[in-house]
C-alpha cells in the first residue's frame, strides 16, 4: 500500500481521530461501512442519533439499516423522529424521503395507515 495514497476510509478514520465530534465525518464513516460492515455502520449512526440529533441526513439511512436488520419498529421510530427534525430544519426534500420510507416500512405490516 502506497503511503502517498491513503484509502478514503483511512482518511476518514484519521479525520475522526482528530475530531470525533464532527457529524460529517461520523456520517461519512457510517456510509463507508454500510455495505461491508453494517453493524459498524450502525455504531456510527447511533452516535449521530445520540450526539447530533439535528443531523438530518442520518435518519433515512439509519432507518433503512434497521429495516435491513429486521428491526421494523425501531426503524419506524427513527423515521418518525427524522420527520420532526427535518421539518423543523426546513429540509422538505429530506422530510419527503423520510415520509416515503416510513410509508414503505409501515406498508409491510399494515393495510391502513
Structural domain boundaries in the chain: 8-107
Pair 60, 101: CB distance under 8 Å: yes
Location of C-alpha cell 424521503: 97
Q: For residues 54 and 89, is the Cβ–Cβ distance under 8 A?
A: yes
Share of the chain above pLDDT 70, in %: 91
Which 8-state DSSP code applies to residue 111? S
Grid coordinates in use for 36?
Answer: 461491508
> What pLDDT digit, counting tens, does each position of 70-103 carry?
999 999 999 999 999 999 999 999 999 999 999 9
Residue 73: CA count within 13 A, CB half-sphere = 0
For the entire predicted model, the pTM comes to 0.87
Collapse the DSSP code of 36 into the 3-class scheme (helix H, G, I; strand E, B; otherwise coil) and give the result: coil
pLDDT band at 3 (very low <50, low <70, confident <90, very high): low
Pick the CATH number of 8-107 from 1.25.40.10, 3.30.70.20, 3.40.50.11540, 3.40.50.620: 1.25.40.10
Amino acid at each position: 500500500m502506497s503511503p502517498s495514497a491513503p484509502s478514503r476510509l483511512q482518511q476518514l478514520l484519521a479525520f475522526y481521530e482528530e475530531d470525533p465530534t464532527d457529524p460529517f465525518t461520523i456520517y461519512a464513516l457510517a456510509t463507508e461501512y454500510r455495505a461491508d460492515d453494517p453493524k459498524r455502520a450502525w455504531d456510527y449512526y447511533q452516535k449521530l442519533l445520540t450526539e447530533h440529533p439535528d443531523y438530518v441526513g442520518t435518519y433515512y439511512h439509519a432507518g433503512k439499516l434497521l429495516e435491513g436488520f429486521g428491526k421494523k419498529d425501531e426503524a419506524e421510530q427513527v423515521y418518525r423522529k427524522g420527520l420532526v427534525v427535518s421539518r423543523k430544519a426546513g429540509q422538505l426534500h429530506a422530510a419527503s424521503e423520510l415520509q416515503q420510507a416510513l410509508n414503505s416500512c409501515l406498508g409491510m405490516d399494515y393495510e391502513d395507515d
